[in-house]
Structure formats: structure tokens, C-alpha cells
């Protein structure tokens, strides 16, 4: 299934469950960023540590990131996670974050409890484009 179809299905499912379209679109945007950063961290791509460039450890998570990308709110990964948490808390959605880019990096539990993740835990994957 392509990303467009997954995205449209996620927005439609959120609408059926009473989650606003703005929240659904924000979660899609943050999931894309979180997935991109998870891939970068796994592969050693910029802005993550690849063992060859100078990096600094994030004060919050301890991950190695290019120095100028670590701001007051932490590394790019911590800042993205904070946005996801804020959106989920505001919408009253339980969430789960995974740093493993091979699966679903961001999952939410919609009010009905029907999920589409392979874990059978009632969590719904927030799709991200294939990188």
C-alpha cells in the first residue's frame, strides 16, 4: 500500500473516531520527521553520529548529534518527540514511540481501541513516507 492511501486512511479513521483533522495532519507531519530521524540515527546519516564527524551528546537522551542541531529543547529527536507528546496529550490519545525505523515509529491508540499494528495491542500506526 502506498503512503498516500495510508495517509488518507489514517485521516479518515481519525475523523471517524472524533480526532480533529488538524491533529491527524500534525501527527502525520511529526511521524514523518520522527521516522526520518530514526533512519538517520540508525544509518549514521546527518545530523546523527556516524563515527566520523564531530558530535555532541544530547543532554536529554544522550544521543550523538551534530553540535549546532542541539538547541535549548534538546536534539532534533527530543524536540520531535516533545511535539508528538504535546499533540497526543492535547487530543487525549495514548501514544507509543519507537526509535526503530523498520516498523512504525509513532503509534496512537484511538478511542475505539481498534488498531492496525502487528502487535495486536490496539495501537494504530501513524504512517510516514517510505524513505
- Residue 30: name the closest of 111, 100, 86, 109 by CA: 86
Residue 43 lies in a domain: yes
ω into residue 58 within 30 of 0, thus cis? Answer: no
The pLDDT tens digits for 100-126 are: 888 899 999 999 988 888 777 889 999
Query: Can you give the residue range of the structural domain that contains 52?
Result: 3-125
Alpha helices of the chain — where are they, by DSSP H? 3-16, 21-43, 76-91
- Output the pTM of the full model: 0.91
Residue 44 lies in a domain: yes
Residue 130 lies in a domain: no
State how many domains the chain has. Answer: 1
The C-alpha atoms of residue 43 and residue 51 are separated, in whole angstroms, by 11
Say yes or no to pLDDT of 93 above 90.
yes
Q: Which residues touch 13 (CB under 8 Å, ≥6 apart)?
A: 110, 124
Amino acid at each position: 500500500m502506498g503512503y498516500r492511501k495510508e495517509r488518507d486512511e489514517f485521516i479518515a479513521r481519525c475523523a471517524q473516531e472524533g480526532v480533529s483533522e488538524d491533529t491527524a495532519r500534525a501527527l502525520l507531519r511529526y511521524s514523518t520527521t520522527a521516522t526520518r530521524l530514526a533512519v538517520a540515527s540508525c544509518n549514521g546519516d546527518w545530523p546523527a553520529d556516524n563515527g566520523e564527524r564531530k558530535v555532541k551528546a544530547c543532554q536529554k537522551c544522550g544521543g550523538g548529534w551534530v553540535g549546532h542541531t542541539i538547541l535549548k529543547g534538546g536534539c532534533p529527536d527530543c524536540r520531535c518527540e516533545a511535539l508528538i507528546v504535546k499533540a497526543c496529550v492535547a487530543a487525549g490519545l495514548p501514544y507509543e514511540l519507537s526509535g526503530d525505523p523498520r516498523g512504525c515509529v509513532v503509534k496512537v491508540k484511538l478511542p475505539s481501541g481498534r488498531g492496525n499494528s502487528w502487535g495486536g495491542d490496539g495501537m494504530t500506526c501513524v504512517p510516514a513516507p517510505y524513505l
